[in-house]
Structure 1
Amino acid sequence: MTRATLWSRLDPSTPVDLAVIGGGATGLGVALDAALRGFSVVLLESHDFGGGTSSRSTKLLHGGVRYLAQGNVALVREALAERSNVLRIAPHLAQPLPFVMPSYRCWQTPFYGIGLKVYDALAGRAGLGPTAWLGVQGTLAALPGLRRAGLKGGVRYWDGQFDDARLALALARSIDRAGGLVLNYAAVTALSGGRSAGGDQPWTLTVQDRLGGEGGEGGPTAQIQARAVVNATGVWVDGVRGMAPQTSPQGSQALPRLVSPSQGVHVVVDRSHMPADHALLVPRTDDGRVLFAVPWMGSLILGTTDTPRQDLPREPQPFEAELDFILTEAGKVLERPLTRADIRSVWVGLRPLVAAPDAGQGTRSLSREHVIVPDANGLITVTGGKWTTYRAMAEQVLDACFAARVLPRRPGGYTATHALVGAPQPGSGQPPVSIQQAPGGHLYGSEQAQVQACPGSDRKLGLGLTEAMVRFAARSEYAIAVEDVLARRWRALFLDARQALAMAPAVAAILQDETGLDPQRAAFETLAQGYLPQGG
């Protein structure tokens, strides 16, 4: 799986059935669905798979308790069904997780409990466990480290958690095994053809290798043709739509904006602040937001915020008020107060919320549902939604392609049961290790032996990462840059930015040896500074 070999598979002479632009959750889901239906597929990602919003989630597979409170029953029902599908096809990366809502007022326990019983009912057979009322001692036992003063009890319910970046990687590798071609660091710089000039013409996509032979931004370009193109670039979909030729005389200026971006900030602290195997949910903070405290990979994730943004930075930074909000609200429910000195890493994701220019309550009032837009030129755009429903979104995108007659209709439904790369074989007798545990070889699922067979399995680099894992990432997981390994193949940057910085030189040397390409160590060191509170 060398970079040169993958790039050489771009064939300009023979159109593929489908080109997908965007290697986040949605684009990967679309490409896998299409490949399993027997279509020829190319997926092009300008950065790394899951490098944007799809690696910066709260790490939850959930139906959305707060969406139920908003009355969006259809979204909750769909998400609960899809939650079970993800748990089934990637049990080494996605697992059930119990939550507790603590009550500090007498009315909260029965009120939340009744609502969560409705949540159970909507899940039906896809439920992961029953909702239960807890007394004070039961709540403290489930959430050690919770503030005791004023506690009245709590409610326990079930959702799921996962490793978002490694799930994205498993999807990319599953597409490859299904016969598709996936390329990271391959930016689509121009689009032509389609139905813009009348009739059905193949699309021509100009693709730039952002790495090239010597790294950097200015690599060589290639062209491919595709009968259909899906734009699944998340918060950046409006830019791709504007790139495509339009059928109207007004051109791209006539296209309405699809995305109203919102940023969500997450903070990671030591697990000792709440050494629990349950997650904490505060359904309504003083300003009406939601607060999570989630045990994940040996650490504790706190979040999140919902702040409108007009710009679209590749690496958004937290606002001071967002960090203050998370630390202050967490301090209200945890026994030990939190300060910025406790922060090990902080990351920010941009949510592609469906635009509503007249919304008067900020992005919190915008829909978390997705939208699929078939343009007159034949381009199919999808945006919005969330990780939990990526598979259902992909099916609906393929249905939109059939309705627009850019692809011939073929039966589907395979992705609901198609095990992803690394998923243990049913009946293997090896129960998955909890995602709550510190990162280790269990994250590779059925591929642990292949990883161990790489040179350097006994050389530890930090946070559970070994030299063998880095070599496996380069050989089998499309990793080229230090960021690919320390941010997504291994979650070091998201767990402890300072330790990730210390690991960077060794990772860079191994990648250089494996690929012969620039591992971009300096770029990673600059990036990692942004994951530290106040930049360092």
Structure 2
Amino acid sequence: MNRERLFSQLVSHSGPFDIAIIGGGATGLGAAVDAASRGHSVVLIEQSDFAKGTSSRSTKLVHGGVRYLKQGNISLVLEALRERGLLCKNAPHLVHSLPFVIPSYHWWEGPFYGIGLKVYDTLAGQLGLEPSRYLSREEMMELLPTLETEGLDGGVVYHDGQFDDARLAIHLARTAVNNGAITLNHTRCTGLMKEKGHVIGVKAECVETGRQHEIRARCVINATGVFVDDVRRMDDAKTENIVAPSQGVHLVLPREFLPGESAIMIPKTDDGRVLFAVPWHGRVIIGTTDTPVEHASIEPRALPDEIEFLMTHAARYLTRDPRPCDVLSVFAGLRPLVAAKNAESTAALSRDHTILVSDSGLITITGGKWTTYRRMAEDVIDHAEMIGGIGVKHCVTHDLKIHGSATVLPKDDPLAVYGSDATEIRELTAKEPEWARKVHPKLDLTCAEVVFHTRHEMARTVGDVLARRSRSLLFDAQASMNAAPRVAAIMARELNWDAETIDHQVNRFQKLASGYILEG
């Protein structure tokens, strides 16, 4: 996946593309994979980096949604469980089963949650993971040695999926390119092209060079998440917002706060949300919150109340109370919830995806979640085929293997998330033994991986490498700041950066990363 080569393909393409997609998160990338694998000509542009926004800031779960079952939204749970099973099958190098334990501190909680989870198991059908079961107090303590035991009666364990969201996004981009799509990061949409009131393409600008491009397309899809209303106003300045952003915050703690291979799920917190404590890549993620925000930001920040909420609840259920100095990273993401009149809170807004078609033919898709990205993509491309008049072709993503899935390495292999691409990284190390060195003692990221990210995964900034190609920013924000100069030096050799560009890249990343460090 080479950015210069893809730009050359864009410039040399004759006639309109079948489909142009604005937005390089889960929804846009999924749509690109779906359309390209059907045989359509596809171009996707992303103003920042792939999965820069919401799609790299999730709780890292591929799940049916236990709480939606409680709400009675059976159709959403059924769809999500089916898609969870397909994702486990098509991206086994990135998605795996994880046990979740619900502790019971009252005698009635075990049977209450146990019955619900049996229904959850049944709905998953043949695509289910392992069955749920009751746990005694002793079994709970063995699985979760750092769980608060005062008043503990027992619990229930069930299984859901876990993944690396940003890594899946990169592998989706490569899957799209493998199927003939052009996917371009750091390329912003500056406007829509129209003819006789109908959208016929997008105006784009390469952020690096400032070069302008007019991309003609028979159909344009707006898949920009929390920013869909900005693009809709390019089409119609008077359009009303359809998205009400909600912020979710997560804390990352050292693994000693939750050793073992099981996650904790608290079905009801003080604000009515589900809370997770999840082991992930040798750390523990605590989340999440649900806070309405007025304006969407490409780099949202955690609010003090949100941090206090997570710290308080973590202390309530863990034997060791986390302190601010224990937090390795704090990150925030925005959910593109579909607005509804008279909704009392964002928890009442739709988690389903929504597709709108404007009078000009612009297709907007928003809402949904990572687990259902494939189904969302299928729906929106079905619409695009009708709107664009490009011919109806059968969706093949039900069985389409995601790039890298040919090899599944052991979970403890440091290159496991690369799947079959791990071989290329090891070949780089064999050619240049110095590249086997880590960029920082507290991070697993090696110099060879940075080279691979730059050469084959379109990493164009230090942030692309440390925040998304690797997850160093989430693993340890301070260590990632310290590693930035070395990463920049490696990228400079690959991208021909001068000293001024290196300094700019390092300073820019360190300013960003400082917002992930919890003071106190």
Give yes or no for TM over 0.5. yes
Aligned to 1:206: 203
Runs of 4+ in 1 over 6 A off after TM superposition: none
User: Which among 445, 458, 471 is matched to residue 436 of structure 2?
Assistant: 458
What does the per-residue CA deviation read over 1:487-536, in whole Å, with 9 as the maximum and x for residues that have no partner?
A: 011100011101111111110001011012446221100000010013x8
| Residue identity opposite 2:232 in structure 1 | R
Q: Aligned-pair distance for 1:405?
A: 4.6
Q: Whole-Å Cα distance in 1 between the matches of residues 171 and 57 of structure 2?
A: 16
Aligned to 2:253: 269
Q: Whole-Å Cα distance in 1 between the matches of residues 294 and 270 of structure 2?
A: 26
Q: Aligned-pair distance for 1:82?
A: 0.1
What does the per-residue CA deviation read over 1:138-194, in whole Å, with 9 as the maximum and x for residues that have no partner?
A: 111111200011100000001000000000000001111111100000001010226
Q: Give yes or no for contact 2:20–2:43 (8 Å, CA) kept in 1.
A: yes
Q: Give yes or no for contact 1:481–1:521 (8 Å, CA) kept in 2.
A: no
Using a 3 Å threshold, how does the CA distance of structure 1 residues 290 and 194 change in structure 2: closer, same or farther? farther
Identity %: 48
Q: Whole-Å Cα distance in 2 between the matches of residues 405 and 226 of structure 1?
A: 9
Instruction: State how 1:201-350 maps to structure 2 within 5 Å.
Output: 203-212=200-209, 219-244=210-235, 251-253=236-238, 255-350=239-334
Aligned to 1:215: none
Q: Aligned-pair distance for 1:9?
A: 2.3
Aligned to 1:433: 410
Using a 3 Å threshold, how does the CA distance of structure 1 residues 195 and 135 change in structure 2: closer, same or farther? farther
Aligned to 1:365: 348
What does the per-residue CA deviation read over 1:36-59, in whole Å, with 9 as the maximum and x for residues that have no partner?
A: 010000010000001100000000
| Residue identity opposite 1:120 in structure 2 | D
Aligned to 1:181: 182
Q: Give yes or no for contact 2:462–2:487 (8 Å, CA) kept in 1.
A: yes
Q: Whole-Å Cα distance in 2 between the matches of residues 286 and 227 of structure 1?
A: 49
| Residue identity opposite 2:517 in structure 1 | L
Q: Aligned-pair distance for 1:6?
A: 2.7
Aligned to 1:428: none
| SS of match in other structure, 1:416 | coil
Aligned to 2:393: 410
Instruction: State how 1:15-94 maps to structure 2 within 5 Å.
Output: 15-94=16-95
Q: Aligned-pair distance for 1:433?
A: 2.4
Q: Give yes or no for contact 1:79–1:389 (8 Å, CA) kept in 2.
A: yes
Q: Give yes or no for contact 2:201–2:220 (8 Å, CA) kept in 1.
A: no
Q: Give yes or no for contact 1:19–1:41 (8 Å, CA) kept in 2.
A: yes
| SS of match in other structure, 1:533 | coil
Tell whether 2:419 aligns with 1:445. yes
Aligned to 2:8: 8
What does the per-residue CA deviation read over 1:325-382, in whole Å, with 9 as the maximum and x for residues that have no partner?
A: 001011111111112111000000000001113212x101111111001111111100
Q: Whole-Å Cα distance in 2 between the matches of residues 233 and 195 of structure 1?
A: 25
Q: Give yes or no for contact 2:219–2:388 (8 Å, CA) kept in 1.
A: no
Q: Aligned-pair distance for 1:457?
A: 3.5
Q: Whole-Å Cα distance in 2 between the matches of residues 28 and 73 of structure 1?
A: 27
Tell whether 2:357 aligns with 1:383. no
Q: Aligned-pair distance for 1:8?
A: 2.5
Aligned to 2:473: 493
Structure-2-length-normalised TM-score? 0.95
Q: Whole-Å Cα distance in 1 between the matches of residues 390 and 137 of structure 2?
A: 58
| SS of match in other structure, 2:297 | coil
| SS of match in other structure, 2:106 | coil
Aligned to 2:518: 533
| SS of match in other structure, 1:252 | coil
Q: Whole-Å Cα distance in 1 between the matches of residues 196 and 414 of structure 2?
A: 49
Instruction: State how 1:516-531 maps to structure 2 within 5 Å.
Output: 516-517=496-497, 518=501, 520-531=505-516
What does the per-residue CA deviation read over 1:216-236, in whole Å, with 9 as the maximum and x for residues that have no partner?
A: xxx221111111111000000
Query: Aligned residue pairs: how many?
Result: 508
How large is the Cα RMSD of the aligned pairs?
1.5
Q: Whole-Å Cα distance in 2 between the matches of residues 252 and 441 of structure 1?
A: 47
Aligned to 1:355: 339
